Chains A and B, each alone.
Chain A
Amino acid sequence: MIGAELRRSWILLWKDLLIERRAKAAFNAMAFFAGIVLLTFGFAVGPEAPGVETGVETLLQHLSPGLVWVAILFTSQLAADRSFQLELERGGLDALRVYPGDRKALYFGKLLANLAILLLMEAVLLPFAAILYSLDLWARLPALAGVAVLTTIALSATGTFYAALTANLRARQVLLPLLLFPVLIPVLLAAVKATGLVLRGDPMNELGSWVKLLGAADVLFLVVAALTFEYVVEE
């Protein structure tokens, strides 16, 4: 039984990635959007403004964990919204609804597609941020990737849930971020803290608790969304 559900999720993931590979439009737009946000922060903060420890870092470098994650948070909302608009355009969601099997498979398929696209976008964005803000993150890439994966799971888990919920609403473009961002505040906080600790070193050994918090948020969001998803896509 589980095997069949996994296969359904896998096929849905494959379908979304195939559409993305052929059209490429969404990924390009998202990556550019995230890049522009980072660029805008550069102008807003100013490239030469000194950081908290004067002489050691610039203000941009000091703020970089927060700036990067805010850019990714904004983009994740776009990704989630798009993944369900894609289904609505030609009545795809109705077709998905009549597929046999558990609706959880639908959720995890959509979630994995969102996760894959977001992770790909981050793989482009993080080096871009490193160049733009002159951050030294190459040596810390494995730890950073770990934090990014944990955070992105939470972003896509909630993004997929709320995007499906608001897909049919008139004002979804206003409502989606309004619902999504408050519940993601703890995730953003943990991601920013963990990224800062990875980049600047962790003398007090705090990284573990933030990683655990990210993990707990992932599990909570995934479980609640999976359990309630049959009601989310109900017609």
Chain B
Amino acid sequence: MSGQLINLFAALLLLLAFAMLSQRRILSLIHLYTAQGVVLVCAAAVMGHATHQPHLYVSAGLTLALKVFVIPWILHRVIARLNVRWDVETLINIPTTLLAGIVLVIFAFNVAAPIAELSSSIARGTLGIALACVLLSLMMMITRSKAVPQVIGFLALENGLFFAATAATYGMPMVVELGIALDVLVGILILGVFLFQIREQFDSLDIRHLEKLKDQ
């Protein structure tokens, strides 16, 4: 039963990754990110229950605090202060992006399939989905031209990695997990500060302004 639940969470995560890829509004992106966090917490908790690994509960708690409360809160504050709460990104051909996304998913499944068979985890089938989420977030970062969605893409990338660790190996050792959490938190704080500085310098959060440095 818990294996099925994990599969369900994995599928939801993939769906959320696609939703992020096609979402134009910054506020909705943050909501989607929070939803991803909730799914991750559930997945980690179910895993912990199924495998009797208490440290997974700790990691679920850490994720809950960080990815459901702290980081979305920071993001909300940042977009409120930058006054981009209702920003809508105009460009990008969404159907094409989504089709490219499907290709990525197939690629990820193919890469992960032989490896997944070797895992002893109850959620081994989901390794491919985790990799797909990582690649989709990567693509989201590439296709976006605004700074805030890029940051959210970066965070979603980390979510995919977290899920990979949970699914393939029941989470990383505690020291490492704490270290990763710290890095992500500090990273988002620095990025937040950066957003203000970029805005101050360029009067815009459009990354296309950040293409001055080129080789002659």
Q: Do A and B bind each other?
A: no
